[in-house]
């Protein structure tokens, strides 16, 4: 009898987790949002861009929620940089920024150029993989790293784990580059669905 009475409240409490991790639902529409132009991404360090993701609450029954004619938007920080060679001692080698960008004037990209750009971009969430604090880019002695100010998580320019409590590297957005050189991102990340995986705590 006790087990039977426990099922409804357990289902209510775990509902949001099941919706997001198992059923793949999200508060953010599955659409592309503009991040920046590739011409705005620096050569040797990341740049941060603010993207507004509209939010629709999915944790309750839609028919029981108050309907508003306002759009709710959460601004998110997205770090973008060029993938960089990481040497054995942890220092940075060459940047993989495509050489054709030295003369890029903002014109239309060929399919080959689009593929070269997409293969060599880092498009990262600012949410630390530990407990979600927004990371900062810190430069020291000519090189830099992402540092979480809350608990000391450290990542390199590619978002890879370097030290501290985070269980993994930084979260990478799903992104694409279009023929006008603009980077677009979806609010989804490089994670595998399931109850045993961790998603960013903030967007």
Residue 7 belongs to some domain of the structure: no
Q: Are the beta carbons of 104 and 178 closer than 8 angstroms?
A: no
Residue 16 belongs to some domain of the structure: no
Does residue 125 have a pLDDT over 70?
A: yes
Instruction: Kindly report the pTM of this predicted structure.
Output: 0.79
Q: Are the beta carbons of 125 and 173 closer than 8 angstroms?
A: yes
pLDDT reported for residue 31: 87
Q: 61 or 132: which carries more pLDDT confidence?
A: 132
pLDDT reported for residue 6: 64
Residue 12 belongs to some domain of the structure: no
Q: Are the beta carbons of 29 and 56 closer than 8 angstroms?
A: yes
Q: What is the CATH number of the domain that holds 149?
A: 2.102.10.10
At a CB cut-off of 8 Å and minimum separation 6, what does 71 contact?
Answer: 54
Residue 11 belongs to some domain of the structure: no
Residue 181 belongs to some domain of the structure: yes
Residue 3 belongs to some domain of the structure: no
Does residue 64 have a pLDDT over 70?
A: no
Residue 94 belongs to some domain of the structure: yes
Domain that holds residue 35: 25-189
At a CB cut-off of 8 Å and minimum separation 6, what does 129 contact?
Answer: 153, 161, 166, 167, 168, 169, 170, 171, 198, 200
172-200 per-position pLDDT tens digit: 999 999 999 999 999 888 876 655 566 67
Q: Are the beta carbons of 158 and 86 closer than 8 angstroms?
A: yes
Alpha-carbon dihedral 8, 11, 12, 14, rounded to 10 degrees: 150
pLDDT reported for residue 103: 86
Residue 116 belongs to some domain of the structure: yes
SS3 101: helix
User: Which residues face 37 on adjacent strands?
Assistant: 182
Structural domains in the chain (count): 1
């Amino acid at each position: 009898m006790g087990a039977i009475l426990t099922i409804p409240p357990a289902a209510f409490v775990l509902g949001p987790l099941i919706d997001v991790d198992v059923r793949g639902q999200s508060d953010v529409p599955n659409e592309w949002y503009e991040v920046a132009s590739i011409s705005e991404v620096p050569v040797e360090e990341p740049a941060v861009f603010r993207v507004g993701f509209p939010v629709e609450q999915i944790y309750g029954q839609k028919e029981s929620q108050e309907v508003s004619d306002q759009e709710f938007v959460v601004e998110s920080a997205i770090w973008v940089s060029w993938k960089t060679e990481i040497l054995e001692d942890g220092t940075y080698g060459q940047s993989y920024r495509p050489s054709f960008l030295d003369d890029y004037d903002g014109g239309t990209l060929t399919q080959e150029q689009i593929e070269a750009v997409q293969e060599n971009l880092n498009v990262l969430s600012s949410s630390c993989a530990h407990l979600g604090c927004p990371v900062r880019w810190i430069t020291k002695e000519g090189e830099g790293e992402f540092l979480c100010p809350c608990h000391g998580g450290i990542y390199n320019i590619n978002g890879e784990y370097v030290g501290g409590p985070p269980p993994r590297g930084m979260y990478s957005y799903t992104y694409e580059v279009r023929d006008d050189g603009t980077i677009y991102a979806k609010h989804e990340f490089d994670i595998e669905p399931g109850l045993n995986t961790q998603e960013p705590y903030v967007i």
